[in-house]
C-alpha cells in the first residue's frame, strides 16, 4: 500500500514519489501537449487536507491554470476545449477578447485583468 507523507493511503492514480519528494499532495499529470512555444497538460490532485481537484494548465508567454473542484465542472471545461477545436486562431482570439469584455462588464475593468 502506497501512502503519502501524512500516512494516508494514496488513490490508485497517484504517481507522486512521496518517499523521495516533499509533497503531501497526491497528484498525477497528463503528458504535455505542445503547440509552438506553448504547452498544456491536465492534472488530478488530492491535497492531504482538502478535496480532490482536476484541472488544466497551459504555459508559454503566460501561465494559466484552471482548477475544478467537481467532476461536472471539469467535464464541462473539457467539452468547451473540445468544442473550440473547430475554431480558427483568429476566432479563438475573438472569443478571448469577448470574454475579457464580458469580464470587464461583469466585474469592472480593474478585475478583468
Ligand atoms: Zn499519493
Verdict on whether the full-model pTM lies above 0.85: no
Domain that holds residue 60: 1-69
- Within 10 angstroms of residue 53's Cβ, the number of other Cβ atoms is 18
- Whether residues 86 and 34 share a domain: the answer is no
User: Quick check: 29 pLDDT over 80?
Assistant: yes
The CA 33 to ligand 1 mean position distance, Å, reads 24
Biggest CA pair distance of the chain: 51
Ligand 1 centre distance from Cα of residue 21 (Å) = 11
Ligand 1 centroid distance, CA of 43 (Å)? 13
* One domain for residues 75 and 51: no
Q: Give yes or no: residues 19 and 55 share one domain.
A: yes
Residue-wise pLDDT tens digits, 42-53: 999 998 878 999
Does residue 58 share a domain with residue 110? Answer: no
Considering the domain architecture, whether residues 53 and 25 belong to the same structural domain is answered as yes
pLDDT score recorded for residue 110: 66
Same domain, yes or no, for 41 and 29? yes
Q: Do 23 and 47 belong to one domain?
A: yes
For residues 5 and 34, state if they share a domain.
Answer: yes
Statement: residue 97 has pLDDT above 90: yes
- Do 61 and 108 share a structural domain? no
Q: For residues 23 and 45, state if they share a domain.
A: yes
Choose the weakest-confidence range: 49-53, 56-60, 85-89, 94-98.
Answer: 49-53
State whether 9 and 55 are in the same domain. yes
Residues 78 and 50 in one domain: no
The DSSP secondary structure of the chain, one letter per residue, reads --B-TTSPBPPTT----TTTS---SEEEEPPPEEETTEEEEEEEEE-TTS--EEEEEEESSSEEEEEESSHHHHHHHHHHHHHHTTS-HHHHHHHHHHHHHHHHHHH-HHHH-
CA of 46 to the centre of ligand 1 (A): 8
Q: How many domains does the chain have?
A: 2
> Which residues are in the CB-under-5-Å shell of ion ligand 1?
4, 10, 14, 16, 26
Span from the CA of 57 to the centroid of ligand 1 (angstroms):
20
Amino acid at each position: 500500500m502506497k501512502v503519502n507523507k501524512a500516512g494516508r493511503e494514496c488513490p490508485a492514480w497517484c504517481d507522486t514519489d512521496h518517499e523521495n519528494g516533499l509533497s503531501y499532495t497526491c497528484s498525477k499529470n497528463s503528458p504535455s501537449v505542445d503547440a509552438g512555444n506553448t504547452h498544456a497538460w491536465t492534472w488530478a490532485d488530492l491535497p492531504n487536507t482538502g478535496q480532490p481537484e482536476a484541472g488544466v494548465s497551459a504555459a508559454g508567454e503566460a501561465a494559466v491554470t484552471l482548477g475544478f473542484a467537481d467532476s461536472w465542472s471539469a467535464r464541462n471545461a473539457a467539452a468547451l476545449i473540445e468544442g473550440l477545436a473547430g475554431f480558427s486562431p483568429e476566432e479563438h482570439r475573438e472569443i478571448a477578447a469577448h470574454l475579457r469584455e464580458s469580464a470587464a462588464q461583469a466585474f469592472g475593468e480593474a478585475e478583468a485583468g
